[in-house]
Amino acid sequence: MKDKKIDCSKTKVSISEMVLPNHTNNLNTLFGGKLMYWMDMAAGICAYKNTKKIAVTASVDNISFKSPVYKGDIVTINAFITRVFNSSMEIYLEVTTQNRKTGKSIISNNAFFTFVTLDKNSKPVKSIEVQPKTEEERKLYDGALRRRQLRLILAGKMKPEEADELKSIFN
C-alpha cells in the first residue's frame, strides 16, 4: 500500500522563547548563534514529529538578520516541511519577534533548512511524502527543486550542468 501524503500545513510546529540576559551579546540584543540554535531545534522537532525518524541537519540556507531582537522580546519560530525528495526534506522557518515594550510583532528572519532522515545504521532512508494545498505552499513546493539543486552545487554534490532547473543561471 502506498504511504499517505501529509498536507504541508499539518507538518507545522511552533516554538516560542523569551530573550533572557544569557541569550544576548555585548549590545544586549539577541546573540545570532542563539537564534540559529533555536531555528535548528524547531526544524529538528518538525522533522522528527512528522517522520518519527532520526533526522539530521544537512544544510542551512542563507540566514539574514534584518533587525536586532531585544532582551525581553518574544521570539516565535514557525517551521513546516515544504517538500520531501527521498531521504531529504526542505523545512521553511519563519521567525516572528514581538517587542516587549511596543507589543508589535515583525517577521525578523526566515530560512530554509534541509534535514535528512536516517535509519538505525545512520544511513539516509526514504522519508514521508508531503503535499502542498495552499498557493503559498505550492510556490514553496515548486521552488524547492531549484533551491535543492543550488545547495547541492554549493556543497559540491552536483555538477552545475546537471542542474536542469538552474540552466538559465549557469549557462
Ligand X SMILES: CC(C)(COP(=O)(O)OP(=O)(O)OC[C@H]1O[C@@H](n2cnc3c(N)ncnc32)[C@H](O)[C@@H]1OP(=O)(O)O)[C@@H](O)C(=O)NCCC(=O)NCCS
Q: Is 88 in the site for ligand X (CB under 6 A)?
A: yes
DSSP symbol at 88: E
User: In whole angstroms, how close is the CB of 36 to ligand X at the nearest point?
Assistant: 12
Of 17, 76, 83, the C-alpha closest to 50 is 83
CA 145 to chain centre: 15
Question: Does 59 sit near ligand X (CB under 6 A)?
Answer: yes
Q: Does 130 bind ligand X (CB under 6 A)?
A: no
Q: Smallest distance from the beta carbon of 16 to ligand X, in angstroms? A: 22
Q: Do 102 and 54 contact (CB within 8 A), yes or no?
A: no
Does 97 bind ligand X (CB under 6 A)? Our answer is no
Query: Which residue of 58, 63, 74, 145 would you call a contact of ligand X, by CB under 6 A?
Result: 58
Which CB atom, from 54 or from 74, has the smaller least distance to ligand X?
54
Inter-CA distances, 122 with 58, 64, 70, Å: 13, 31, 39
Q: How far is the CB of 113 from ligand X (least distance, A)?
A: 9
Q: How far is the CB of 139 from ligand X (least distance, A)?
A: 20
Instruction: Name, in order, each residue with C-beta under 8 angstroms of 72's C-beta and a sequence gap of 6 or more.
Output: 18, 19, 100, 101
Do residues 5 and 132 lie in contact, with contact meaning Cβ atoms separated by under 8 Å? no
CB nearer to ligand X: pick between 74 and 125: 125
In the list 5, 49, 52, 56, the residue contacting ligand X (rule: CB under 6 A) is 56
Helix (H) or strand (E) segment spanning residue 142: helix 135-154
- The binding site for ligand X (CB under 6 A) comprises 56-59, 85-88, 114, 116, 124, 151-152, 155, 157
